[in-house]
A and B are shown apart, each in its own frame.
Chain A
Amino acid sequence: AQKITQTQPGMFVQEKEAVTLDCTYDTSDQSYGLFWYKQPSSGEMIFLIYQGSYDEQNATEGRYSLNFQKARKSANLVISASQLGDSAMYFCAMIPHNTDKLIFGTGTRLQVFP
């Protein structure tokens, strides 16, 4: 079965420090895409970063980077230089090849403190 697992229900990080949010996935497909979304307390879902399974380099978008380890089936999100505004729920998601069904993990709540 295709599944996304986020084992950290909550994480704390001090402002300006880096933090890693874990995500592992389960699929037998060779081609798939991985996404991270942010959901602030206001409730909207914000796209952060995408990694394709055939991408040779880890994706980066500003302070966000995706630590993609295909053999381990992990796609951890790294946030560098955390800011108070990074406090939110973070969801990892996967779309297997030739499907239209984006599968989400249960999320990690990140709290950044001064």
Chain B
Amino acid sequence: NAGVTQTPKFQVLKTGQSMTLQCAQDMNHEYMSWYRQDPGMGLRLIHYSVGAGITDQGEVPNGYNVSRSTTEDFPLRLLSAAPSQTSVYFCASSYSGQGANNSPLHFGNGTRLTVT
């Protein structure tokens, strides 16, 4: 099993550019999420989805959009990149989010994004 696949692994953007971080999972997980990791701040939830067609905001959603048209894919869009969005981005999935507290997250390997 591939698990959770994120692409690209590295990306450099100029301020104002847009891009989409891709995330796909092959475990038939209903729950998918995006986190950003910054030094000294741990992981912070950007957006999440509990199933196809359903998305919701996390702790730091501003500047990011998501959609969930299929169970497998959960892309994260940066519409107009800013230097404050320089970070490492992780996509994660689990069997079930709500109510299934013992369902651990499976993480992708991360995307390191630099905005200049």
Contacts and interface: CB of A to CB of B under 8 A. Distances in A.
Contacts of B98: 98-100
B42 A107 contact: yes
Contacts of B104: 35, 47, 50
Contacts of B1: none
Contacts of B105: 35, 37, 45, 47, 102
B102 A43 contact: no
A91 B102 contact: no
Given A44-B109, A44-B110, A101 B58 contact: yes
- State which size class the interface on B falls in: 20 to 34
A43 B45 contact: no
Contacts of A43: 88, 109-110
Contact of A106 (B40, B45, B101): B40
Q: Interface residue tally of chain A, by bracket? A: 20 to 34
Given A98-B99, A100-B98, 16 more contacts: A4-B42, A32-B101, A33-B102, A44-B107, A44-B109, A50-B101, A52-B102, A93-B43, A95-B97, A100-B31, A100-B48, A100-B50, A100-B56, A100-B97, A104-B42, A106-B41
Interface of B: 31, 33, 35, 40-45, 48, 50, 56, 58-59, 88, 90, 92, 97-99, 101-102, 104-107, 109-110
